[in-house]
Structure 1
Amino acid sequence: MDAPTTPPNPHYDRFGGQDAVQRLVDAFYRAMDELPQARTIRAMHEVDLGPTRQLLTRYLSEWMGGPGLYTPERGAPRLRRRHMPFAIDAAARDAWMACMRQALAETCTDAGLRSELEAAFRRVAEALVNTQAAPAPPAALND
């Protein structure tokens, strides 16, 4: 008798596959550059978002149930550990979620799927909160 298997995460195919994941990531980082409340979390990233975009695309592809593009390259996600160097408080979590909600609104026409993904992203964002204090403002580049 075969061992029971966990059904695959259906979000990847329902969302539209790799091209849709890439559009989501592009919309997410565009929102991060545009939304005033996202300034603090944008400052946590490198100026050049190219490598970060690629990394998030690989992660989300796998996380949504698509091809395993992240784990073979980076190992287990361990998101909380990877984000510990950053002061992530409720405001940072909410700013991240505002960017993701905007990106989902732009890229996901299926309201039910959008709601499922938003709830899942909310759980992830909540798990990354690691401080009660507000993050320090970024230092000026010319200081």
Structure 2
Amino acid sequence: MNWIKKILGREIEDRDPAQSNAYDLIGGDQTIRAIAKHFYHAMQQREDTQQLLAMHPHPLSQSEQKLYEFLSGWLGGPQLFQRKYGNPMLRARHMHFAIDDNMRDQWLRCMAVALEQSVKKPEHRQVIYQAIAQLADHMRNQ
């Protein structure tokens, strides 16, 4: 996952050669926790994401924790999700949810808000959003 290197066009010291170090570039654990927190806060506050909110078990704290753990590893930090749950296999784990364009777009609206509120540099927000938008599109099953 060296997509950060490719897009930013510069060499950076890696935490793990198989991973990007976006984790470090954006501020590490504190920023990843903030993204997860702002994501779920946006989902609860926005009128246009209430269908997405209804798909999540309450309280949202467990879902927020899982998102934090996933993003940590996905962005090149500690593989928290994988240590607890094994390979993310996101599409398989979400197959029992009806994910269409509307659900994908609601999820991406929340992520855009979370990135805007949590990641300082616009170029980092853009790179992460582009990558996560591809992932979200892959999750569609309807």
Same fold (TM over 0.5): yes
Asked if 1:75 is matched to 2:86, the reply is: yes
Q: Can you list the C-alpha shifts for 1:8-35, whole angstroms capped at 9, x where unaligned?
A: 3121001100011001100000000011
Contact persistence 2:19–2:75 (CA under 8 A): no
Q: Can you list the C-alpha shifts for 1:111-131, whole angstroms capped at 9, x where unaligned?
A: 111000000110110000000
1:100 matched to which residue of 2?
111
Q: Unaligned 5+ residue runs, structure 1? A: 132-143
1:19 matched to which residue of 2?
30
> How far did 1:76 drift?
0.4
1:48 matched to which residue of 2?
59
Separation of aligned partners in 1, 2:132 and 2:74? 10
Separation of aligned partners in 2, 1:6 and 1:23? 26
Q: Can you list the C-alpha shifts for 1:90-140, whole angstroms capped at 9, x where unaligned?
A: 000001000000111111110111000000110110000000xxxxxxxxx
Q: Can you list the C-alpha shifts for 1:66-108, whole angstroms capped at 9, x where unaligned?
A: 0111111101000000000000000000010000001111111
Match of 1:88 among 75, 82, 99: 99
1:64 matched to which residue of 2?
75
> How far did 1:6 drift?
4.2
**Residue correspondences, number:** 127
**What one-letter code is carried by the residue in structure 1 that aligns with 2:68?**
T
TM-score, normalised relative to structure 1: 0.85
Identical residues among aligned pairs (%): 34
1:38 matched to which residue of 2?
49
Separation of aligned partners in 2, 1:43 and 1:125? 18
Separation of aligned partners in 2, 1:55 and 1:21? 11
Secondary structure of 2:25's counterpart equals: helix
Separation of aligned partners in 2, 1:102 and 1:72? 28
Contact persistence 2:37–2:64 (CA under 8 A): yes
What is the RMSD of the two structures over their aligned residues, measured on CA atoms?
1.2
Greater helix content: 2
Q: Can you list the C-alpha shifts for 1:8-63, whole angstroms capped at 9, x where unaligned?
A: 31210011000110011000000000111111110110120111111111110000
Asked if 1:115 is matched to 2:138, the reply is: no
> How far did 1:7 drift?
4.8
Which of these two proteins has the greater Rg computed from alpha carbons?
1
